[in-house]
Amino acid sequence: MRGWQLVVDAADVFSEGWHNKGDDKKEEFQKEGRRLAKWLAHLENAPEVSNGDYLVRDQITYVDFMLFMTTSGMRAIFSKVFDEKLAKWWATMSNLEAYKKFE
């Protein structure tokens, strides 16, 4: 069930990010304590809860791909940096052979 919740959360943060990507909205959305910071704090707990390299299990799942797509978009649009746990997970995902071929 936790995996589905993270997928829904990814859709929510992507939607909010998309609606706040304009220069007039972007700065407010990224400010400390605002929506992006709250979403990132929530997502940054996922790798810790799984006790592994991936978000919900010790192997890659659909949840990792959904969040990877979402966080890739966030990184492209916003300057907010991931904390150490989420950055480590993101590095693991971006080092996948399939991603390297896509990139």
Q: pLDDT (tens digit, 9 = 90+) per residue, 48-84?
A: 666 778 888 888 999 999 999 988 888 887 776 678 8
Domain of residue 47, CATH code: 1.20.1050.10
Domain that holds residue 20: 2-102
Quick one: which of 87, 3, 95, 8 has its CA closest to 49? 3
pLDDT, tens digit, 9 for 90 and up, residues 89-98:
899 999 999 8
Quick one: which of 92, 94, 80 has its CA closest to 38? 80
C-alpha to C-alpha distances, 94 to 24, 28, 54, 57, nearest whole angstrom: 30, 28, 12, 18
Give the pLDDT band (50/70/90) at residue 103: low
| pLDDT for position 61 | 92
Token digits for 62?
Answer: 């659909």
The whole-angstrom separation of Cα 43 and Cα 6 is: 8
State how many domains the chain has.
1
